[in-house]
Structure 1
């Protein structure tokens, strides 16, 4: 990831907990499920204590001698029943816990995607694709992998520790003295781990984002990379990002190994302490061999849940780091704080962004003294004053780097102006931006065309195609509207993809259209057809068109000529030709180029 990228925020612990509570809220069945989970875990923990105590009693029965095997059989039956009950309860606990928390995870996953869409596009672009993609994939996967293991461990281990400690006290309370040895070791290990692990896991997640950015940059621009022989440079960048991931991965493993080593010290001290206490009790006649056996088995059972509980802290820390990154996106987009389970529409008025003036404006789209800089102090557009009136088409022309695409992005709300006011509709659906980078989604041609109008019928789709002269889009495929497009089907050519994008807008029927060289990818054979489709699309609509070919400007109501981010000429095609200025020079050069 470039150093100029600004990562999306990472939420603090309080915000994470608030969002988890919000995901749990309103689900009564989950509260009932939680009570059931606690009951099942208690049953499993209690059943697990029966086996060590029965084995200890069995040892004492055998040591006492006698020919009656009935006590042994009774104890064996208790052990078998307890084992079966415990296994059944453990399995049920896993199912209940995973189902409950997977529901919360699914809700968070939906809200992080909604959060990305709700964020200003300029903010997402500054963060970079790698940061966004890693949060929606790597971080969600990390939590998804952890939940099935962490939930049963956290719920089952806590109850098992309490019940097992009670079982040791039943044999002889003095065996609990061993806790004096192991608890301080556990406390110190956990405190050290809690300080050391979180920043390491956060850095590891961030390194994943950097690696994803490097891969995506190379893959998205693979043709350019090959054309300019830049493969080696991109491979070195990917390798460098991968080595950073590897270094943080090794560091995280060192933290884990150190943590586990300290837990092993506690296990050694505990077992040694129990042997000393047991030896003293047996030699002084205050205990039995069976009691020592039962206590040691209980301790091994006690230490198992303790180790499991502390081991999953590793997964908990990693999952919490990912959860903080996910919630950071949700929290940064206030409109996603409502649950996604409810209806998406609202009758409440939509508040415009700070740079959007309210409806009482002389035009539906305009710029008042607008300035915007990608790099502070170097303005891509500088002092733009332009108003596009209702039903008017204004074409924007100029040399490469003049600020045309920046102006289109400001009009569509992709960027927010540094200074001045951008007038645009408060409702997002009233304005649609189409760029030359057209995306064809996996799905049918029908799905792609009604992307902005999901309820459109086939007749409405065909009518929209006919209005812009795009009936060839359906005829280009044997299966018509049912043709599969995208990775799972056919990838249409650039001209056909742009025609689909224009038809998609016609079907959505927005009030205002911004075209940023939306027909630029067309070859000479398709240029006339696509330019005509664009002209038909913007008729009777308010439109700002960044013209790739000056023939598009000639059909516009007015033309704005940009140089170095400023409007240097503004008027109709005929007026600007009559002035003999910059536009007339551009037009003459374009006509000469066409003739040759």
Structure 2
């Protein structure tokens, strides 16, 4: 596979795309064989019209055509037209069903694979890239169906059968048309050399635009808070103009291809007319045969132009298809990418007896930036609750993501339980029922278990606010939840999921001090009986933990209980004094 950048998600090569489409066609190949057979028969039936017209011209020229001849020819042409149209329609319907069935299977595979990609890989590639592949690219492939299917499944058969009919009629006519074919070949060679890079650039520009729009939407509060509206507007406009420029390039290529096809059409008609004149003058052909040849060529020119011209659409769809397959076929064992130099390869070693989490000499940096974690060694015992505190930028959240497996370490080893759950301060409420939101990680949970989890986390009061209880629709388009309610919901999810290790990364920071006590009690209930790692926003949370880890500049500088660290008069003691004084003054 190839990629536009070292960190970008992969793009499948032409061979890989063809191999994957062939694999996905399994179960539809009998239908595809029926498409081919029916398409050839329909194209052969359509030859009856030109042959009948040539026959009538010869009979008229010899004076042997009567009313019966005209009616017979007209009836034959009408029946052939109806049968040909019916066969063509059936061919398109069968091909469309197969096409969309294969596309649906690919879309499901793409979504399933995208949902299992490590977060660090998606972030480095840009979330907009993945969203573009699962939306814009899927739409491009689906929208290509009305233009591509009739051409590929019908006109291809028409070209083959019509060329055979020309050769059977008078080989010089077929030779005359064949002489002009290099014009089409040259047009295609030019287009295949020029078109694909233009369309790839267009799709890449769309990905960049999606990324800018997504960042502006996700960072809406930051944009408003720092007065960055104009700056973000310029960034989105610049990305949009990038799409416009690449789209204009693509349309220019399209127009240039159209001009080359028009030249080929004029030369084809002229060549057949000249050959017909020569053959009739020499007495080796008839006016009827020349008429049939011209009708066949006219019948050929449309499909030839359509087949070549639809390649414009096909190239764009293939570019999108390759991007989709590039993600859908990422091997599960390669999703996390190659192990960084010095990092442990393969699965993490199991922690020792009585230990739930073990980090040894762990280092991590974002891309080529400075170390965010530097030689971190930490053991967390089974059932122990550890808080991580420190100034902003100390590496607390990065430590949590490395322990959770979201980011692999650059060096060192990380061992953690297989059943690990993470709650961050950005709690998402999915559009759907309250029950669906709560059972995301525990689909077999009963209503009684759900109600117990809500009671334990103090969120049972939601039943009094929501009209339909667990069936009430929440999230977008439904009943809005406050920050505190959303965080209670997340803690109830945690209880239902029942992980061995729970990581709370400032999970109750967004609700504000008014609900601090309520959420602290909910957190205590959710962590009871399990190993917990708490990135503490409020030091009162840290004080309630079994052990506190203080971080500074990516290193662990202090460890101990709340009382031990206060007695040490170190960093934690100063942080506590500052926090306690602010709390007292408030």
Q: TM-score range, shorter-chain basis?
A: over 0.9
In the alignment, is the contact (CA less than 8 A) between 1:115 and 1:333 conserved in 2?
Answer: no
CA contact (8 A) 2:359 2:377 kept: yes
CA contact (8 A) 1:412 1:514 kept: yes
Give the C-alpha shift of residue 479 in structure 1.
2.0
Shift of 1:355: 6.1
Which residue number corresponds to residue 159 of structure 2? 161
Q: Which moved more, 1:528-537 or 1:58-67?
A: 58-67
Corresponding position of 1:517: 506
Q: Out of 235, 239, 242, which is 1:241 matched to?
A: 239
Q: Who is 2:340 aligned against? A: none
Aligned-partner Cα distance in 2 for 1:160–1:82: 14
Please tell me the root mean square deviation across aligned C-alpha atoms, in Å. Answer: 1.9
- Residue pair 1:449, 1:503 contacting (<8 A) in 2 also: yes
In structure 2, distance between residues paired with 1:171 and 1:375: 68
Q: CA deviation at 1:353?
A: 6.7
Does structure 2 retain, via aligned residues, the 8 Å contact 1:256–1:314?
Answer: yes
Work out whether 1:381 is the aligned partner of 2:370: no
When the two structures are aligned, how many residues end up with a matched partner? 574
Flag the 1:32–1:375 CA change in 2: closer, same or farther, 3 A: closer
Task: Give ranges in structure 1 of 5+ residues lacking alignment.
Answer: 338-351
What is the CA–CA distance in structure 1 between the aligned matches of 2:290 and 2:219, rounded to whole Å? 69
Between 551-560 and 31-40, the greater mean CA deviation after superposition: 31-40
Are 1:449 and 2:441 matched, yes or no? no
Unaligned runs of 5+ in 2: 336-343
What's 1:20 paired with?
A: 21
Structure 2 contact 198–246 (Cα < 8 Å) conserved:
yes
Q: TM-score, normalised by structure 1?
A: 0.93
- Cα shift readout 1:330-371 (whole Å, capped 9, x = no counterpart): 23243699xxxxxxxxxxxxxx97362135565221211111
| Structure 1 residue 375: Cα displacement | 4.9
Post-superposition offset of 1:388: 0.9
Equivalents in 1 of 2:51, 2:351: separation in Å? 78
Between 1:463-472 and 1:542-551, the stretch displaced more is 463-472
Alignment partner of 2:311: what SS? helix
Match of 1:364, SS?
Answer: strand
Matches within 5 A, 1:475-514: 475-514=464-503
**Shift in alpha-carbon separation, 1:377–1:291, aligned structure 2, 3 A:** closer
CA contact under 8 A between 2:351 and 2:357: conserved in structure 1? no
Aligned residues of 1:115 and 1:336 also touching (Cα < 8 A):
no
* Matching residue within 384, 394, 405 for 1:413: 405
Paired residues of 1:355 and 1:416 also in contact (CA < 8 A): no
Give the aligned partner of residue 271 of structure 1: 269
The answer on whether the counterparts of 1:146 and 1:315 sit within 8 Å (CA) in structure 2 is: yes
**2:341 counterpart residue number:** none
Within-5 A mapping of 1:144-183: 144-183=142-181
Q: Secondary structure at the match of 2:550?
A: strand
Structure 1 residues 108-158: Cα deviation after superposition (integer angstroms, max 9, x where no partner): 111111222222210111111110110001111111111343233122222
| DSSP-derived class of the 1:77 partner | helix
**8 Å contact 1:171–1:291 — kept in the other structure?**
yes
Counterpart in 2 of 1:63?
61
Asked if structure 1 preserves the Cα contact closer than 8 Å seen for 2:92 and 2:154, the reply is no
Alignment counterpart, residue 551 of structure 1, candidates 529, 540, 543: 540
- Tell me if the contact between 1:452 and 1:504 (Cα under 8 Å) persists in the aligned partners: yes
Match of 2:328 among 327, 330, 334: 330
Note if 1:432 corresponds to 2:424.
no
Counterpart position of 1:49: 47
1:39 corresponds in structure 2 to: 37
Deviation per residue, 1:487-536 (Å, 9 max, x gap): 22122111111111111111111111000000000122211111111111
The Cα of 1:444 is off from its aligned counterpart by 0.8
Question: Hey, what's the Cα distance between the residues in 2 that align with 1:377 and 1:180?
Answer: 61
C-alpha deviation, 1:219, in angstroms: 1.4
After TM superposition, the structure 1 stretch with the greater mean CA deviation from structure 2, 256-265 or 555-564, is: 256-265
